[in-house]
Homo-oligomer: A and B are copies of this chain.
């Protein structure tokens, strides 16, 4: 009996995504993050809580919580009794790339070390999809696959905490991908890099997986910064 129930639950998971409530705070957080990374809110700008709250149509409570998250993510600096200020610059974008390279490459190593066969299959199948889309698909599809690939590596690594650290950068990564993958030569090169990373992981070559992932991220970061700044 128990087995059946568990089975059913698992099958439901495939059909029904767990309901996720997005609180007002999360929306505010996302909105501000986007605005900072895209440059709508310039570095150094003072964020007036009341003004922002009224612009976004909320009260200051969710806004303050969102500011604390941004602060922990390093996009905002807060001085008590003085206010919060936007902190984002070319320099910081560079450092975000370094951080991402450092973390993703460690995650890739863990994936090569610990991943299950099912996780390997996931990786392989994403790469196969990519192979097709890189030739004939839209850029948005490719961006989606790109994110699925990195998610699959994360999943394979089993590193929940590291994943969460990475997640803080998700918006920036997304913005970077969008810019970088707009170039055809980058799309092709990027695919080959992904493929090589996948191969290193499924052959459990930890050193290689780490090294390739790191180079992949650093290269993408460099390209992005060149294109944007």
The CA of A143 and the CA of B105, in the complex, are separated in Å by 30
Given contacts A65-B68, A80-B22, A106-B102, contact A96 B168 (CB under 8 A): no
Contact present for B165 and A92 (CB under 8 Å): no
Contact present for A95 and B64 (CB under 8 Å): no
Number of copies: 2
In the complex, what residues of B have CB within 8 A of residue A71's CB?
69
Residue of B nearest to A162 (CB): B95
In the complex, what residues of B have CB within 8 A of residue A96's CB?
161
The CA of A227 and the CA of B4, in the complex, are separated in Å by 40
| Nearest CB of chain B from residue A30's CB, rounded to whole Å | 13
Q: Is A21 an interface residue (CB 8 A)?
A: yes
In the complex, what residues of B have CB within 8 A of residue A159's CB?
95, 98
Q: Is A103 an interface residue (CB 8 A)?
A: yes
Partner of A99, one of B80, B81, B165: B165
In the complex, what residues of B have CB within 8 A of residue A66's CB?
68
Question: Would you list the 8 A-B pairs with minimal beta carbon distance, nearest first?
Answer: A72-B72, A95-B161, A102-B102, A21-B80, A68-B68, A23-B80, A65-B68, A102-B106
- Given A65-B65, A72-B73: 15 more A-B contacts, CB < 8 Å: A20-B80, A21-B81, A23-B81, A25-B68, A26-B80, A66-B68, A68-B72, A69-B71, A72-B168, A74-B161, A74-B164, A95-B160, A98-B162, A99-B106, A102-B103
